Amino acid sequence: MIFLRVVTVGVFDGVHIGHVEILSRLKRLAEEFNSTSEIYTIVFPMEYYKGHFDGLLIPLEDRITLLEVYGEVFPLELNEIKDIDASKFFEIISKDTKGIVVGKDFRFGKNAKGDISLLEKLCKKKNIKLEVVNDLTENGKRVSSTLIRKLIKEGNIKLANKLLGRAYPVYGKVYKDKQLGRKLGFPTANIRRHKELVIPKFGVYLSKVYTPKLYFGLVNIGLRPTVEKTKNVKYEVYIFDFNENIYGKEIRVELLEFLRAEEKFKNINDLINRMKEDEKLAKKILEEKYAS
C-alpha cells in the first residue's frame, strides 16, 4: 500500500506567522487528499555556511515541536542536499506526493537553480497539486526569519513578537555565579546562553519568567560593564516577588518589552539606583498592560 503525502520544504526558523500561512495550507491540503503531511526543515540557512549568520531564532528541537502541529517533521542538512540538481531534488520530494506547498520565493536544487516556474512545470507533469502562497507582509515588508533576527538585534522586541506570533523565548539552566546581585539587592538567576541563537540587543527587558510557575521580572542581557566586563554575553534574570532556590533548574523567559540599553555606570550606587528605576518602570507597565 502506498501512503500518499503532501510536502513542504524550507528552513522555518522561528516558525513565524509567514511560515504558519504555509503550514496551515499544507494541513488543509492533507485533509483534502486524506494524506499525511510532511515538513522538511533545513537545519541552518545558507548564510550559516557562508559565515555571516546572526544565529537561529529558536533551537532546532523547539522548531521541530512547533512544526509537528502541522505534520511529520524531517530535518535536512543543507550540505547533504545543496549539490543535488533541481530535477533530482524534485524527484525526491515528489515521490508518492499529491501536493506541494511553498512560498513565492521558493528555490531548490544545486545553486538554487529551480524556481517556481520550473516547479509548476514538473508538478503539472506528475499531476501534483502545487500551492504557491503569497508573501505575508507587515507594513509592506515581507515577514521573514531574517527580518525577525534583525529586529531582535535592534531591541525591537514588540515587533519581533508580533511577527513571530508569540513572545520571544530565551531559556536554560540556572547556574551559580558570584552572587554579587544578592548583595546589591537584586538577586539574579543566570542562565546559560544557547550558542547557536541570535543575541538580542544588550539591555534590560521586561519579561515573563516560568519556573515553571509564572512570574514577571527583568532580564539584563549583556556584558555588565559596570561590575566586571565579562567576555561572554550574560543572561541575568531578576524575578519579582520571588525567593526560591532555583540553581540547576530550567527556566523559560519570554522577552516582552525592551526597557533600556545596558550602560556602564560610574559606580555601583548609580547602577543600583538605575535598577530600582527599571523595577519601578516595569511594575508600572505591568499594572497598565498586563494586570489581569
Ligand X SMILES: Nc1ncnc2c1ncn2[C@@H]1O[C@H](COP(=O)(O)OP(=O)(O)OP(=O)(O)O)[C@@H](O)[C@H]1O
Ligand Y SMILES: Cc1cc2nc3c(=O)[nH]c(=O)nc-3n(C[C@H](O)[C@H](O)[C@H](O)COP(=O)(O)O)c2cc1C
List contacts with ligand X (CB under 6 A).
Answer: 10-12, 18-19, 21-22, 45, 102-103, 105-106, 133, 135-136, 142-146
Q: Residue 179: which of ligand Y, ligand X, none does it interact with, CB under 5 to 8 A by kind?
A: ligand Y
Residue nearest to ligand X (CB): 103
- Whole-number Cα distances in Å, 215 to 170, 218, 236: 15, 10, 15
What's the min distance (Å) between Cβ of 225 and ligand Y? Answer: 5
Closer to ligand Y at the Cβ: 162 or 274? 274
Q: Residue 216: which of ligand X, ligand Y, none does it interact with, CB under 5 to 8 A by kind?
A: none
Q: Residue 200: which of ligand Y, ligand X, none does it interact with, CB under 5 to 8 A by kind?
A: none
Closer to ligand X at the Cβ: 53 or 210? 53
The three cell numbers locating residue 48: 550559516
Closer to ligand X at the Cβ: 72 or 105? 105
Closer to ligand X at the Cβ: 116 or 281? 116
Number of H helices, E strands in the chain: 10, 13
What's the min distance (Å) between Cβ of 158 and ligand Y? Answer: 19
Alpha-carbon span 186 to 240, nearest angstrom: 10
Q: Residue 275: which of ligand X, ligand Y, none does it interact with, CB under 5 to 8 A by kind?
A: ligand Y
- Whole-number Cα distances in Å, 176 to 130, 170, 281: 53, 18, 28
Alpha-carbon span 74 to 159, nearest angstrom: 30
What's the min distance (Å) between Cβ of 217 and ligand Y? Answer: 8
Alpha-carbon span 195 to 164, nearest angstrom: 21
Phi, psi dihedral angles at 206 (to 5 degrees): -75, 135
CB-based burial, 34-61: b 16+ in 10 Å, e otherwise: ebebbbbbbbbbeebeeeebbbbbbeee
Q: Residue 90: which of ligand Y, ligand X, none does it interact with, CB under 5 to 8 A by kind?
A: none
Closer to ligand Y at the Cβ: 14 or 181? 181
CB distance 142 to 157 below 8 Å: no
Q: Residue 18: which of ligand X, ligand Y, none does it interact with, CB under 5 to 8 A by kind?
A: ligand X
What's the min distance (Å) between Cβ of 250 and ligand Y? Answer: 18
Burial of 188 (0-12, 13-18, 19+ CB in 10 A): buried
Residues that bind ligand Y (CB under 6 A): 177-181, 184, 186, 188, 190, 204, 218, 220, 224-227, 236, 238, 262-264, 271, 275, 278
What's the min distance (Å) between Cβ of 59 and ligand Y? Answer: 24
Q: Residue 88: which of ligand X, ligand Y, none does it interact with, CB under 5 to 8 A by kind?
A: none
Q: What angle do CA 169, 60, 130 make, to 5 degrees?
A: 110
The three cell numbers locating residue 221: 542581557
What's the min distance (Å) between Cβ of 47 and ligand X? Answer: 7
> Given the C-alpha cell 531578576, which residue does it identify?
238
Closer to ligand Y at the Cβ: 264 or 289? 264
What's the min distance (Å) between Cβ of 72 and ligand X? Answer: 17
What's the min distance (Å) between Cβ of 57 and ligand Y? Answer: 24
Burial of 125 (0-12, 13-18, 19+ CB in 10 A): exposed
